Chains A and B, each alone.
Chain A
């Protein structure tokens, strides 16, 4: 009774999943494609990036820009890629529960002989697997493209950066899912999750510049995922586990709230 619902949820999101996957792969491929020309003119570009204020360099993780890790970090993992995964995850997470309540289809769904928690678990899994699927595309594009672009980067580093990205996406997707479970309203869940994600992102991004942010940067999930610079240093299992734990905590809270809530009221 669960597989049909899982398949149905994916079918609803199929266009979105394909869109995000193609977008992500294209972005990564283009960035990898232009890398050789940037690497070959290394001294010039390095001078340009060195000309940026040091704060700016730190913000966008521009240290050592022409190196493979430096380039991927600045161009992809400091901004665009996390943004894509958080936006994607949040939009799916916010719709998962709230859409059906707003459209009224929840009435028939939750009057089926299936306990609510199981329906929620399936909806959550559908979102997680969709985010992970786009993550696999990201990882595969990097793993195939980086050697082709002449990047001397370990697979462990690429995998660690991809995994961190996927997990951050899952964390914010689960936050939006939880807010959807609490409110049953999509716009509110989406908006609030985006605000919270931006807050987390700003703390992480501006931590090198602002003392206060530096002190609280350990509260930011982006810091957990990217703080140890996975493109250089590979896996940081402890912090990734923390991201997973918080994600599961959001899920647990969503199940607990929804067990007792009135549907669509």
Chain B
């Protein structure tokens, strides 16, 4: 049982409309794992998610939740919590009535936990959804996705419209559910949003997979900038030959370089030379993200020509 991934895409392809869609997506999300699903707007994240839920029929390939194809077997959806990217709920109802309708249609009673979730997210359940702001409506979506403590949480741009305080509470909530063993698929067009939540990410662009990797590996292979400040001017030759170091330049007693991989060797040498301070400009994941996508584009352009 544990060998079956909670969420699994296998060469998943979906074409519809004019050239929109996804092609050959493959990745797994294990139980108890939070997985980031990243790509620019229009890359196909929502399409993949909607195929996964059985809202769209795959052109080819497989999308499974707990080993079951949602398209052919609706039962598995009991184990799924879904927050759509463009959330729409029945606005004429109150929050409480809506949540209770969803519970009755799911044939479960989790009113107590739903009430707790509303409180944690500071959502007033007596309000009519029509009168709620976008952020508060998003909270309704979050509550209905989490309230039945599903085995798989599929969240399409979940934090859109949430203020920072609620966002933190949401992240806490997500960790709790991941820790109790839920698989979480978290889509976003902003990498920093999933950075603290997900261990692994899949990045897609133009419907194709660019990379599936652990965030720490993604970071490790990323180029970052170091600013070294010395008590006296130093020669750049000390650093230029080190593995992973490049673009070394010196201005008086400060040295700037870019590097990939471990900084240990460089720092040891710098300390001997009288290092005062060091500032490491953390790799901007956004930059990694963009460079990967640009790379993909260039590659596509190269193969096309």
Footprint of B on A, CB under 8 Å?
1, 3-5, 8, 12, 103-108, 110-116, 260-265
Cβ contact within 8 Å between B74 and A263: no
Is B54's CB within 8 Å of the partner chain A?
yes
Of B57, B74, B82, which contacts A262 at CB under 8 A? B57
- Is B177 at the interface (CB under 8 A from chain A)? no
Residue in B closest to A105 when the chains form the complex, CB atoms: B88
Q: State the majority secondary structure of interface residues on A.
A: loop
B56 touches A107 (CB 8 A): no
Q: Which 6 A-B pairs have the closest CB atoms?
A: A104-B88, A113-B77, A4-B104, A113-B78, A107-B84, A263-B55
8 extra interchain contacts, Cβ-Cβ under 8 A, other than A5-B105, A107-B88?
Answer: A107-B84, A107-B86, A108-B82, A108-B89, A108-B102, A265-B16, A265-B17, A265-B50
Range, interface on chain B: 20 to 34
Closest to B75 in A: A113
Within 8 A of A (CB), among B63-86: 74-78, 80, 82, 84, 86
Cβ of B298 < 8 Å from any Cβ of A?
A: no
B53 at the interface (CB under 8 A from A): yes
**Which single member of B55, B77, B92 contacts A107 (CB below 8 Å)?**
B55
Instruction: Check if B80 sits within 8 Å of A111, measured CB to CB.
Output: yes
CB-based contact A111/B56 at 8 Å: no
Distance in angstroms from B5 CB to nearest chain A CB is 20
- A110 surroundings in chain B (CB, below 8 A): 54-55
B107 lies within 8 A of chain A by Cβ: yes
A1 touches B53 (CB 8 A): no
List A contacts of B53 (CB < 8 A). Answer: 111
Q: Does B200 contact A (CB under 8 A)?
A: no
A104 and B86 contacting across the interface, CB-CB below 8 Å = yes
CB atoms of A113 and B82 under 8 A apart: no
B101–A114 contact, CB under 8 A? no
Q: Which of B16, B74, B82, B87 contacts A114 (CB 8 A)?
A: B74
Bound-state Cα–Cα, A147 to B107, Å: 49
**Which of chain A's residues have a CB closer than 8 A to the CB of B74?**
113-116
Closest residue to A115 on the B side, CB-wise?
B74
Complexed CA–CA distance, A63 and B84 (Å): 60
Q: Chain B contacts of A111 at CB under 8 A?
A: 53-55, 77, 80, 82
Q: Is B106 in the interface zone, CB < 8 Å from A? A: yes
Say whether B89 contacts A4, CB under 8 Å: no
Alpha-carbon distance A2/B87, docked complex (angstroms): 23
Inside 8 A of A116's CB, which chain B residues have their CB? 74
Which B residues are CB-close (under 8 A) to A263?
Answer: 50, 55-56
The yes or no answer to B90 lying at the interface (CB within 8 A) is yes
A residues in contact with B84, CB < 8 Å: 104, 107-108
Least Cβ distance of A6 to chain B in Å? 11
The contact sample of 16 A-B pairs, CB cut-off 8 A, is A1-B105, A5-B101, A104-B87, A106-B55, A107-B86, A108-B84, A108-B89, A108-B102, A110-B54, A111-B82, A112-B102, A113-B75, A113-B77, A113-B106, A262-B16, A265-B56
Specify which of B56, B76, B90, B106 is in contact with A105 (CB 8 Å cutoff).
Answer: B90
Q: Which residue of B lies closest to A100 (CB)?
A: B88
**Known contacts A1-B105, A107-B55, A113-B75; A8 and B88 CB within 8 A of each other:** no
Which B138-172 residues sit within 8 Å CB-CB of chain A?
144
Chain A positions within 8 Å of B54 at CB level: 110-111
